[in-house]
């Protein structure tokens, strides 16, 4: 009955068959495969294991393939590392030689060409900060603002610079094609800067998977609405956001993005460091529990574990803890009030009007469940956007749709054949609601669908049906 979904990242600590099953039983709905660390062979093996577990549990599991994105790194130093001091001059140049305390090779000409005087350059996840003082001649001269130890191959972040490169590298393109070949349900695109990044990926994906935009760059924040309208879902990737933006602004941005997701009817995942201490500890900190709780109270569709489940010592315990925290929040007396206060007006479409009316009818008449027939998944997402207090059961003949909906708030997915008639539609909905444990004989359920049956995106009907003693229905 938990509404918020859990995304668990697989890695060295969790990619074997038994642990994947344990994670699914503990509450993981979607498994993330991080292509920064996975080869194509490992991707295929992991997908196969997830599908085996799915078949054993008879419960749909989503697969999210997370593309690495452009990784910008400095080259190596002659001594392996240097110590930078605040106020000193330090140059990043295009000379392919080992670095010194005064300079280092930056194998990314697009950075050198794009940086302007005054722009900040953050190194090693923001631990060191430089400011560009002179640009030209194949080099960027900087002043060290915050110094420290800088070692080989550390990452470079540019919060003030719009890079001319797209979010999809050659490696990402190959990984994307392999992910589609493996029938991944979601493709996550890293370091999105502009709407065009989403369009580029959509042209390749062509509807074979959902496209999830990871919001982790200040440039993406500037064009957030355009990006959200183009993607199928998005992720609040707080790790990189917290490097390139002031840390104190991230919680407010998280709230803003969750509410924007609700407004546009797009699933949103909150990610990074949610139970970070559980990498090495069997219990989280109080602050981490509060962090997860806030995302659930806000109405996020899913919360995500990264290193906690991928490489930590307690992957199953981390999912179990996240599950317990989410259930506690959803049973809190304040939860429904907060969720209702964030409701947005339905759009002027039949599908939205029906979804809003269904929620109201289900709550007013105290119905056992809302059953929605959905071919593409859009009807299920619209029902979830209303955040009803009653369970949502999504029925679809399309297994891809069922798996894709596993990241969406409050939806219990069941694969079933298309109804042959209105009477069959009512019977099928009542029987499944009964079999899945959501309704008992004598209960009533709400059913939404599109007539004629099986027409994608044409939700125009709301029925109320009684569940009879034999589990079938009458309306």
Task: Please give the Cα distance from 413 to 369 (Å, whole number).
Answer: 13
Of the listed ranges 316-325, 347-356, 357-366, 441-450, the one predicted with least confidence: 347-356
Q: Which tens digits make up the pLDDT trace of 81-130?
A: 999 999 999 999 999 999 999 999 999 998 999 999 999 999 999 999 99
Task: Please give the Cα distance from 467 to 458 (Å, whole number).
Answer: 25
Q: Check if the beta carbon of residue 156 is closer than 8 Å to that of residue 72.
A: yes
Phi and psi, residue 324, nearest 5°: -65, -45
Kindly report the CATH number that applies to the domain delimited by 81-157: 2.40.33.10
Catalytic annotation, pick one of 9, 272, 372, 459: 272
Q: Which tens digits make up the pLDDT trace of 23-61?
A: 999 999 999 999 999 999 999 999 999 999 999 999 999
Catalytic annotation, pick one of 3, 49, 103, 214: 214
- Average pLDDT rounded to a whole number, residues 422-437: 94
Q: Check if the beta carbon of residue 471 is closer than 8 Å to that of residue 441.
A: yes
153, β-bridge pairs = none
Q: Check if the beta carbon of residue 446 is closer than 8 Å to that of residue 473.
A: no
Task: Please give the Cα distance from 10 to 32 (Å, whole number).
Answer: 6
Q: Is 89 known to be catalytic? A: no
Looking at residue 387, its pLDDT comes to 96
Q: Is 385 known to be catalytic? A: no
Catalytic annotation, pick one of 73, 76, 154, 263: 73
Distances (CA, A) of 132 to 109, 137, 144: 15, 14, 9
Catalytic annotation, pick one of 3, 5, 9, 32: 32
Q: What is the DSSP letter of 155?
A: B
Q: Which tens digits make up the pLDDT trace of 150-200?
A: 999 999 999 999 988 888 999 999 999 999 999 999 999 999 999 999 999
- In which element (H, E) is residue 467 found? strand 459-467
Task: Please give the Cα distance from 407 to 421 (Å, whole number).
Answer: 30
Distances (CA, A) of 412 to 181, 393, 404, 445: 26, 5, 12, 15
Q: Is 73 known to be catalytic? A: yes
pTM: 0.94
- What are the extents of the domains in the chain? 5-70+167-338, 81-157, 350-474
State the helix-helix crossing angle for 17-26 and 315-330, rounded to 10 degrees: 10
Right CATH for 350-474 from 3.40.1380.20, 3.30.450.20, 3.30.70.100, 3.30.110.40 = 3.40.1380.20
Class at the top of the CATH hierarchy for domain 5-70+167-338 = alpha beta
Q: Is 272 known to be catalytic? A: yes
State the helix-helix crossing angle for 170-181 and 195-205, rounded to 10 degrees: 40
Q: Which tens digits make up the pLDDT trace of 193-250?
A: 999 999 999 999 999 999 999 999 999 999 999 999 999 999 999 999 999 999 999 9
Q: Check if the beta carbon of residue 147 is closer than 8 Å to that of residue 234.
A: no
């Amino acid at each position: 009955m938990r509404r918020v979904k859990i995304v668990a990242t697989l890695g060295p600590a969790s990619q074997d068959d038994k642990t994947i099953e344990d994670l699914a039983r503990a509450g993981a709905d979607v498994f993330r495969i991080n292509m920064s660390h996975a080869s194509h062979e490992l991707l295929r093996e992991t997908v196969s294991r997830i599908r085996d577990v799915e078949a054993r549990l008879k419960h749909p599991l989503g697969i999210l393939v997370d593309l690495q994105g452009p990784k910008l790194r400095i080259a190596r130093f002659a001594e392996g590392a240097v110590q930078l001091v605040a106020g000193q001059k330090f140059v990043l140049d295009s000379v392919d030689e080992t670095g010194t305390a005064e300079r280092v090779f930056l194998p990314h000409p697009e950075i050198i060409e794009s940086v302007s005087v005054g722009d900040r350059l953050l190194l090693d996840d923001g631990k060191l900060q430089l400011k560009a003082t002179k640009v030209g001649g194949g080099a960027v001269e900087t002043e060290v603002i915050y110094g420290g130890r800088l070692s080989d191959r550390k990452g470079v972040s540019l919060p003030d610079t719009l890079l001319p490169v797209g979010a999809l590298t050659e490696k990402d393109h190959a990984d994307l094609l392999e992910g589609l070949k493996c029938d991944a349900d979601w493709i996550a695109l890293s370091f999105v800067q502009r709407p065009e990044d989403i369009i580029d990926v959509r042209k390749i994906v062509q509807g074979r998977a959902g496209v999830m935009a990871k919001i982790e760059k200040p440039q993406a924040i500037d064009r957030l609405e355009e990006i959200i309208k183009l993607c199928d879902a998005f992720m609040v990737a707080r790790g990189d956001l917290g490097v390139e933006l002031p840390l104190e602004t991230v919680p407010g941005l998280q709230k803003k993005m969750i509410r924007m997701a609700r407004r546009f009817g797009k699933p949103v995942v909150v990610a990074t460091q949610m139970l970070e201490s559980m990498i090495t500890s069997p219990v989280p900190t109080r602050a981490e529990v509060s962090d997860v709780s806030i995302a659930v109270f806000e109405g996020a569709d899913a919360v995500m574990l990264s290193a906690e489940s991928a490489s930590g010592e307690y992957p199953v315990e981390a999912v179990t803890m996240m599950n317990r925290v989410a259930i506690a929040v959803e049973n809190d007396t304040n939860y429904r009030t907060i969720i209702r206060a964030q409701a947005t007006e339905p759009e002027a479409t039949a599908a939205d009007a029906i979804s809003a009316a269904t929620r109201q009818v289900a709550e007013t008449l105290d119905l056992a469940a809302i059953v929605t027939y959905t071919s593409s998944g859009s009807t299920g997402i619209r029902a979830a956007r209303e955040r009803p207090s009653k369970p949502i059961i999504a029925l679809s003949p399309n297994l891809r749709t069922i798996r894709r909906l596993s990241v969406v708030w409050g939806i219990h997915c069941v694969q079933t054949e298309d109804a042959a008639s209105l009477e069959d539609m009512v019977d099928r909905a009542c029987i499944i609601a009964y079999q899945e444990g959501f309704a008992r004989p004598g209960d009533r359920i709400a059913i939404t669908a599109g007539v004629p049956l099986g027409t994608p995106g044409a939700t125009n009907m709301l029925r109320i049906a009684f569940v009879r003693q034999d589990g079938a229905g009458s309306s």
